[in-house]
Amino acid sequence: QKLRIAVAANAQGVIKKLQADFRKRTGIETEAITGASGKLTAQIMNGAPYEVFLSADNEFPKKLYSEGLGVAKPKIYALGSLIVCGFAGGDFKKWQTMLATEGVKTIAIANPKTAPYGKAAAEALKYYGLDNKVNKKLVFGESIAQVNNYLQTKVADIAFTTESFLYEKTGKSGFQWARVEAKSYNVIEQGVILLKSSEKSGNSHAKKFYDYLSSASARKIISNNGYHLPK
Amino acid sequence: MININIEKQIGGRYGGFRLKVDTAFRLNTITQISGPSGIGKTTLLKIIAGLTTPDNGTLSVDEEVWFDKEKQFSKRVQEREVGFVFQDYALFSNMTVEQHLKFGTNDASYMSSLLELGEMNQFRKRYPKQLSGGQQQRLAILRALSTKPRFLLLDEPFTALDSELKLRITTRLKSLFEEQKTTVILVSHLPNEFGKGDCHVFALSGS
Amino acid sequence: MININIEKQIGGRYGGFRLKVDTAFRLNTITQISGPSGIGKTTLLKIIAGLTTPDNGTLSVDEEVWFDKEKQFSKRVQEREVGFVFQDYALFSNMTVEQHLKFGTNDASYMSSLLELGEMNQFRKRYPKQLSGGQQQRLAILRALSTKPRFLLLDEPFTALDSELKLRITTRLKSLFEEQKTTVILVSHLPNEFGKGDCHVFALSGS
Amino acid sequence: MEMEPIWLSIKLATITTIFLLFIGIPVAYWLSRKQNIFKLIIEAFITMPLVLPPSVLGFYLLIAFSPNNAFGIWLHQHFNLQLVFSFKGLILASIIYSLPFMVSPLKAAFSHLPKSMSEASYVMGKSKMKTFFYVLLPNIKPAVFTAAVLTFAHTLGEFGVVLMIGGNIPGETKVASIAIYDAVETLDYSAANAYALILFAITFIIVIGVFVLNRNAVKSPFE
Amino acid sequence: MEMEPIWLSIKLATITTIFLLFIGIPVAYWLSRKQNIFKLIIEAFITMPLVLPPSVLGFYLLIAFSPNNAFGIWLHQHFNLQLVFSFKGLILASIIYSLPFMVSPLKAAFSHLPKSMSEASYVMGKSKMKTFFYVLLPNIKPAVFTAAVLTFAHTLGEFGVVLMIGGNIPGETKVASIAIYDAVETLDYSAANAYALILFAITFIIVIGVFVLNRNAVKSPFE
Ligand SMILES: Nc1ncnc2c1ncn2[C@@H]1O[C@H](COP(=O)(O)OP(=O)(O)OP(=O)(O)O)[C@@H](O)[C@H]1O
Ligand SMILES: Nc1ncnc2c1ncn2[C@@H]1O[C@H](COP(=O)(O)OP(=O)(O)OP(=O)(O)O)[C@@H](O)[C@H]1O
Ligand SMILES: [Mg+2]
Ligand SMILES: [Mg+2]
């Protein structure tokens, strides 16, 4: 039985690289089950056979822990980095003014209610006093993955997404982007939790992977794929 | 004797009336029911077959009760051993002529004698849709015979047949009825379908 | 004259045969077609109405061509001004008696005279399912008359009527036909449906 | 809990069902007439959208309707119509998605009607059109109701397609199915339950209403 | 691109369709007989799952089947059956979800059959059962095929329910619809297109095949 890791949709790209590196180092086969964090949480609470859960935020892991489903308190494995990205012409260094211009018709962000990057994007817009000006242009993706689709297929002119989008495998030519300053939104803590079901299965692979996430090589992969690192 | 003493309210708001029948039909013979259109002939046959339930009364065959309103008893349709030729045939559109008969009997030689009787041999493989009106009517007769019923209820069964064909078929039917000791009840607008003097007549009339 | 000279291959693999008709029917009179079951009477009526296409030949009414195989011409069913009483009635199950007639005519007084003719007045509001066999057949006749067709094709239209009712209805029909100058073609197994000497007879036979 | 998504959903489902009645009935009738290979292929194509997960279908529609696309540009220039992130786009997408649920039952029903029924109407001088509306269609009433209910319910519950091409814009494309999805995602189960209950209640009333309408008007006194 | 999800999907859709034929046909027949208020309510309930977004339906099923739940525990103890995150659970969920697509068209078809057809069989001494299988069912063949095709296609494309209670486990619950969803989510459009094409091809073949089977065996020589 392979080790089953539940992974938030925004980390789909990086998890593949982590899995490969982990196998190279330990020989342990893993299986990533991706989905929206909320969905994965609901599943775990109802008996899903996942052993480690990498969430897009830290609220869901905390909730699981408080429900007694975690082996230990969740820890942060990555800090999300919000970018503003698009193919519309304009100066991305001054994206704050660009968003309000005529040339930008649709701006995609993830649903602030369900997705941490959406929440961060909304905070940033508010911080720069843009929320009222661009409200009419906003479209919402179910998850950050859907926002990325809007961007990739160019139905949205601009999108607030995760920096890791830039490392997904499809071509990124023509895209311009800028980091959103960290001060403008609350830090996006992505938590990982080692689940109780890993104890039931009896082998120590889950624990190994959980520990591996804090290793130097894992941290390097994480930071090379569009995330900041926790201290 | 088939003893009939029943009542049934027919039709609701518009032109409803009460069908009352109190009579007895002899077994092992042919009884012909006549009466104006809409008087309740088809309804009476359906009551005998158990397809329609009277509001009141009793129905029995010799000593055997088939229906008794007071005792809340009604013999199941399937157990009455009747054959029925419906006025509108009610053929099975999914079955060929042959399959209709097979549905009633496993006896291959009886089956082919029936096909012979109805002059339907060449249409064995046809579906009802592929038959002319008279051919469909003959199939309806043969299907009713296929189960060798003790009682045969015929609702205007020869209307689509030309007179020569009708004569050939009724003649053959008569000897089959004698052989199988069938009790036949026939609804028809024409007198003496099976030849003179060979049948009892019951005229249904309004009350 | 209705000039008919047509051929049609009937039936496929099993018991197929070739229907050949070469005859002429007089206008403004009643022609009665007879012939054994399955010979093609219904088919012939459908060919006249334009519901079935012959393989070969021509069909014309006086000088007017209705069908010509060589010219690839066939007059549309809707324009042939025929009325048709189908052997199986083909009533509209979604319409009441009244609605059937309204579908053919807007003339309220004609409608009620038709209901009178068919003795169907009390069943105005009934659906076909709620009618007895003979009542359904009368409705089929009335519906066919409702459009005041120039040509009326009747496929065994009186089989479900008792003899007295039939006599009353055919008598009324005859005067209606005279009034409307209807050309009537009637398929029936009984001779002289409209009284002796009043109709021409065409016997359809195999070739 | 907001009520706006509920209204939007009902509006979307109603409009879609009405459109689909207009489209589906003739298409079903046409398909039920003499079969040929061409119709067979059309019929297969109508069923196609079903086999894609809704969100993937939504993705393809997104690309098809995209304003960067020839088709999208054409729509925009000639009709000033923008289909992505708009209510109109949702309607079109729902129509495509629910088409088979409308067409298939109707087609089966039409093919059960006896040919002689239409023949009887033709000889009365009635056109194909008139025959269709006065004779054929009334005779498949139960199937029409069935198809309409399925379509309506299916559109109410539709979610993947709508989410993808709608962009979850409040008051425009944020329908009830998305609201309930959001509620579940955020583990806000009481809101989810409330939405579910309302959707159930609406459907329940509609289904019961339609079935009462559909109750066979013609009752035999013998039954 | 892996082929396993495709096989899993076909297996799921086939099993679900077969089960639903067994369940849906008798239910549809029963519903088509004399209507009463009780049947009406059952019928409304069958339609209910439709109006929920699939993932929300999946969520409720997840809770219902959850091993933390009385029902889930009971299933586990008495049948050693675990319905969440297992292929068996997917089957059950798909059955619930697709039930209306099976039942509704069949019910409409049964209600179109003339009563005299079964009466003719009863007087021949045939039981209700035998009448059903030899007379009624064969006469609604087109509707049965329609319903089966809709159910099959719909199960192939089903996704929200499956994802929720199945959990995307390779070889067990990772069906094609999820694989294609994942492909789109990760912007792997070429894989998505490949999956879509395969799903289309399969459905196309099945639809064409069924319609050819369904082609009316009885052809009038006059048409
Ligand atoms: N679909 C079909 N396939 C093959 N043969 C058919 C089909 N329909 C009718 N026939 C055959 O065509 C012949 C003529 O049929 P038609 O209905 O015209 O006969 P008919 O003279 O009206 O007979 P009847 O007096 O019995 O009504 C019949 O022998 C019938 O078996
Ligand atoms: N569903 C119904 N609703 C109301 N009245 C009905 C219904 N079915 C039949 N009837 C009426 O019941 C009466 C008896 O019908 P039945 O079919 O028994 O007549 P019948 O004697 O067989 O007539 P026919 O010789 O015309 O076949 C008819 O007057 C008919 O109008
Ligand atoms: Mg009768
Ligand atoms: Mg005939």
In a domain, B201, yes or no: yes
Q: Are B87 and B156 in contact (CB under 8 A)?
A: yes
Average pLDDT over residues D3-25: 92
Whether chain D has a CB inside 8 Å of the CB on E100: the answer is yes
**How many domains does one find in chain C?**
1
User: What pLDDT does residue A170 have?
Assistant: 62
Residue B74 has pLDDT above 90, yes or no: yes
Highest averaged pLDDT of the listed ranges A196-205, B193-202, D129-138? D129-138
User: What pLDDT does residue A100 have?
Assistant: 86
In a domain, B119, yes or no: no
The 10s digit of each residue's pLDDT in E137-172 is 999 988 898 889 889 988 888 878 888 888 777 778
pLDDT band at D141 (very low <50, low <70, confident <90, very high): confident
Q: Residue C98 and residue C93: Cα distance in Å, rounded?
A: 12
CATH, residue B60: 3.40.50.300
In a domain, C193, yes or no: yes
In a domain, B71, yes or no: yes
Long-range contacts of residues B193-199, Cβ cutoff 8 Å, at least 24 apart: B193/B32, B193/B158, B193/B166, B194/B30, B194/B170, B195/B170, B198/B30, B198/B174, B199/B29, B199/B30, B199/B31, B199/B32
Residue B6 has pLDDT above 50, yes or no: yes
In a domain, B167, yes or no: no
pLDDT band at C198 (very low <50, low <70, confident <90, very high): low
Cα C183 to its chain centre, rounded Å, is 10
Q: Residue C69 and residue C54: Cα distance in Å, rounded?
A: 8
User: What pLDDT does residue D145 have?
Assistant: 87
CA contacts within 13 A on the Cβ side of D81: 14
Neighboring chain E residues of C9 at a CB cutoff of 8 Å: 221
User: What pLDDT does residue B117 have?
Assistant: 95
- Spans of chain A, pLDDT less than 70: 88-89, 169-172, 201
The residue with tokens 């569009």 is: A226
Buried-exposed string A161-176: b where 16+ CB fall within 10 A, e elsewhere: bbbbbbebeeebeebb
| Residue A183 DSSP symbol | G
User: What pLDDT does residue B119 have?
Assistant: 94
Ligand 2 site, residue B206, Cβ cutoff 6 A: no
- Say which range, B190-204, C144-158, C172-186, E99-113, has the weakest mean pLDDT: B190-204
Q: Which chains touch B (3 or more CB pairs under 8 A)?
A: C, D, E
Q: What is the pTM of this model?
A: 0.87
What is the ipTM metric for this complex? 0.85
User: What pLDDT does residue D222 have?
Assistant: 38
In a domain, B123, yes or no: no
The residue whose CA has the least distance to atom 8 of ligand 1 is B130
User: What pLDDT does residue C105 have?
Assistant: 94
User: What pLDDT does residue A171 have?
Assistant: 66
**Assign residue A154 a region: left if phi > 0, alpha if psi is -120 to 50, beta otherwise?**
left
| Averaged pLDDT score across all residues of chain B | 90
Instruction: Calculate how far, in angstroms, residue B88's C-alpha sits from the geometric centre of ligand 2.
Output: 13
pLDDT band at B13 (very low <50, low <70, confident <90, very high): low
Handedness of CA B54, B55, B61, B65 (dihedral sign): positive
Q: Residue A70 and residue A127: Cα distance in Å, rounded?
A: 35
Q: Which chains touch C (3 or more CB pairs under 8 A)?
A: B, D, E
Residue D37 has pLDDT above 90, yes or no: no
In a domain, C49, yes or no: yes
Average pLDDT over residues C145-158: 95
DSSP string computed for E110-139: HHHS-HHHHHHHHHTT--HHHHIIIIIHHH
User: What pLDDT does residue B12 have?
Assistant: 62
The residue whose CA has the least distance to atom 28 of ligand 2 is B38
Residue E222 has pLDDT above 70, yes or no: no
What range defines the domain where residue B63 resides? 1-81+187-207
Q: Are B184 and B158 in contact (CB under 8 A)?
A: no
Q: Please state, as a whole number, how many other Cβ atoms lie within 10 Å of the Cβ of residue D126.
A: 21
Neighboring chain C residues of D127 at a CB cutoff of 8 Å: 78
Q: Are E188 and A149 in contact (CB under 8 A)?
A: no
Q: Which residue among D127, D135, D138 sits closest to C78, beta carbon to beta carbon?
A: D127
Q: Are E72 and E84 in contact (CB under 8 A)?
A: yes
User: What pLDDT does residue A43 have?
Assistant: 87
Residues framing ligand 1 (Cβ under 6 A): B 129-135, 160; C 10-11, 37-43, 87; E 220-221
Inter-chain touch E222–C52, beta carbons under 8 Å: yes
Q: Residue E67 and residue A192: Cα distance in Å, rounded?
A: 24
In a domain, B43, yes or no: yes
Q: Residue A189 and residue A59: Cα distance in Å, rounded?
A: 9
Inter-chain touch B92–E135, beta carbons under 8 Å: yes
Phi, psi of A140 (to 5 degrees): -115, 135
First to last CA, chain E: 49
The 10s digit of each residue's pLDDT in E16-51 is 999 999 999 999 999 988 777 888 888 888 888 888
Is D194 exposed, middle or buried (CB count within 10 Å of its CB: 0-12, 13-18, 19+)? middle
